[in-house]
Amino acid sequence: NAGVMQNPRHLVRRRGQEARLRCSPMKGHSHVYWYRQLPEEGLKFMVYLQKENIIDESGMPKERFSAEFPKEGPSILRIQQVVRGDSAAYFCASSPRDRENSPLHFGNGTRLTVT
Amino acid sequence: DAKTTQPPSMDCAEGRAANLPCNHSTISGNEYVYWYRQIHSQGPQYIIHGLKNNETNEMASLIITEDRKSSTLILPHATLRDTAVYYCIVRVVGTGTASKLTFGTGTRLQVTL
């Protein structure tokens, strides 16, 4: 059973470009969570999605950031007009649909560098 | 979610048991205790979780006090590969949908020869 897959592992963007980060959850999981970890800091929750629905986006910056989890395909975290402060590791996690008490399983992240 | 308090760092000799404490004095009845660890630059790894009974799996044991105000994660025979930041998290469940995890600053465990 493959784990949570994130790609790309490393992404370099120049200021003002767009960054698209992809997350394929574990098989059978329909809950996806995105976290951000700035250099030398802790993990910060960004957004929680189920298929085609955003459940909790309390940690998402109000501008430039968006997330989706379509019926088919991976979850996408999109950052428009990136700035140097967006440089961070972005982690995705997934959990199963009907098991509230199930642990989240994390991918190994996408490291975004903005030059 | 209830807040947790962990020591910022701990050392452990290889082969010895590592006992990582966590205080969660404001925990509610519907909150579970979860433990994760993050090895340098990797994604967080799930270790174990529990509600009120002690739990054991192939990685670790979780001891929760009777009043549930604190817990201890035990790695029975620490190895150098257990060097990581360990996070104790309380998570509310039973609300009808899976809920997020809120990470604190954790305990940086250094396993030495």
Q: Out of B94, B96, B105, whose CB is closest to A42?
A: B105
- If you measure CA to CA, which chain A residue comes closest to B97? A100
SS3 A102: coil
Sign of the C-alpha dihedral computed for residues A3, B86, B36 and B43 taken in this order: negative
Q: How confident is the model at residue B17 (pLDDT cuts 50, 70, 90)?
A: very high
Peptide bond into A96 cis (omega under 30): no
pLDDT of residue B2: 64
What is d(CA B84, CA B38) in angstroms, rounded to the nearest whole number? 6
Asked if A10 reaches chain B (Cβ–Cβ under 8 Å), the answer is no
Asked if A85 reaches chain B (Cβ–Cβ under 8 Å), the answer is no
pLDDT of residue A99: 60
Nearest-10 Cα torsion for B40, A95, A12, A85: -80
Does residue B92 carry a pLDDT above 90? Answer: no
B38, B47, B48, B101: best mutation site toward chain A, by most A Cβ within 10 Å? B101
Asked if B50 reaches chain A (Cβ–Cβ under 8 Å), the answer is no
- If you measure CA to CA, which chain A residue comes closest to B34? A103
Q: Which residues of A touch B99 (CB under 8 A)?
A: 48, 100
List, for residues B40-75, the tens digit of each pLDDT value.
889 999 999 999 989 999 999 999 999 999 999 999
Q: Out of B34, B42, B95, whose CB is closest to A103?
A: B34
Residue B101 to residue A107, Cβ atoms within 8 A? no
Across the range B25-40, mean pLDDT stands at: 92
From the CA of B104, how many Å to the nearest CA of chain A?
7
- Comparing C-alpha atoms, which of B112, B52, B48, B51 is closest to residue B74? B48
- If you measure CA to CA, which chain B residue comes closest to A34? B100
Contact B67, B52 (CB under 8 A): no
Q: Where are the beta strands (DSSP E) in chain B?
A: 9-13, 18-23, 31-38, 45-50, 55-56, 61-64, 70-75, 84-92, 107-112
Q: Write out the H or E segment, with its range, that includes residue A9.
A: none
Asked if B25 reaches chain A (Cβ–Cβ under 8 Å), the answer is no
List, for residues A6-26, the tens digit of each pLDDT value.
999 999 999 999 999 999 999
Spans of chain A, pLDDT less than 50: none
